[in-house]
Amino acid sequence: MSGPPILSNDGIGAAGAPALPTAGRVRRRLGLGLLGLVALFALLGPWLVGIDPRVQALDQSLQPPGAAHWLGTDVLGRSVLARLAHAARLSLGLALLAAVSAAMPGVLLGMLAAWRGGAADRALVLLADAVMPLPGLLLVLLLAAVVPGSALALYLGLSLSLWVEYFRVSRAAARPVLAGDAVQASRLLGFGLPYVLRRHLLPALAPVLGTLLAFSAAQAVLALAALGFIGVGLQPPTPELGLMMTEFLPFYDEAPWLLGAPVALLMLLVLGMMLIAREESGE
């Protein structure tokens, strides 16, 4: 009786069967699965629940989870499940939008600085160095104070605070690629930046930018929840994770299940993004 197949260096068994998934792939699949479940809940939850999260029913205040309300009701008799579904859509959508909006100018400016060098590089680095010492959460707080309760102000603040990291990472990663033989040959043959960007830069930058996108999206989710928790983010009756925690905290002794719902959803969101980021970074 033969023993188990011996795995070769490329991860393929001696009999030609593929090897078991590595720990990194398992983490990535788990992270994608968690984010997929949260995304489905955010997209389909409001439609499936079919309850307006702003409708109050004071005669059903602080109802425990049951058939009518799977996650119970808050102090105003509103469905926690309905509010959680809308909060998931708001937090996930706004965080991804802010991360992508920060990535586009940050990556383009970083590659431009690495490509042009000289005065353009120094000017862009000076701009990034001037913005970086300002704490990102403080910048969001300033914009939120100017326009209280505005989702647009939170989005702009998060985008403005996140673009610097994309600029620094893309500039640092692009410089050795641009100095390589392949790019030098392409430039000698007359190919411009669009060709070099498509054939050389983007394939080399994709892994590190994927990691940074996951990290920045997780950072944006936590920032939104923190601002809502301290009362300077989105305002009632808007369903938002941090705001829901603030509303539920005074009733923890009487209805402890209320606080667990937004906390669990926030943990799943951040955990899914961090698992993807760890796998992309090769840890």
pLDDT of 103:
93
**Which tokens sit at 188?**
């000698």
Q: Taking the model in full, what pTM does it have?
A: 0.81
- Owner of token pair 């790019």: 183
Classify residue 238 by its DSSP letter. S
Q: Which of 159, 176, 164 is nearest to 124 (CA)?
A: 164
pLDDT of 1:
43
Kindly state the greatest CA–CA separation across the chain.
77
pLDDT of 282:
52
CA distances from 266 to 3, 225, 226, 259, 271 (A): 46, 8, 11, 11, 8
pLDDT of 124:
92
pLDDT tens for the chain, residues 1 to 283: 444 444 444 444 444 444 445 777 888 889 889 989 999 998 888 888 878 888 888 888 888 888 878 888 998 989 999 999 999 999 899 999 999 999 999 999 998 898 888 898 999 999 998 888 777 777 888 887 777 778 888 898 889 889 999 999 999 999 998 888 888 888 788 887 788 888 888 888 888 888 899 889 998 999 889 888 888 888 888 889 999 999 999 888 888 888 899 999 999 999 998 888 865 555 5
Other beta carbons within 10 angstroms of residue 17's beta carbon come to: 10
**Which tokens sit at 216?**
């920045």
Radius of gyration of the chain (CA): 24
- The rounded distance, in Å, linking the Cα atoms of 107 and 147 is 28
- The rounded distance, in Å, linking the Cα atoms of 14 and 8 is 7
User: Which architecture, in CATH terms, is 23-55+65-280?
Assistant: Orthogonal Bundle (1.10)
pLDDT of 178:
84
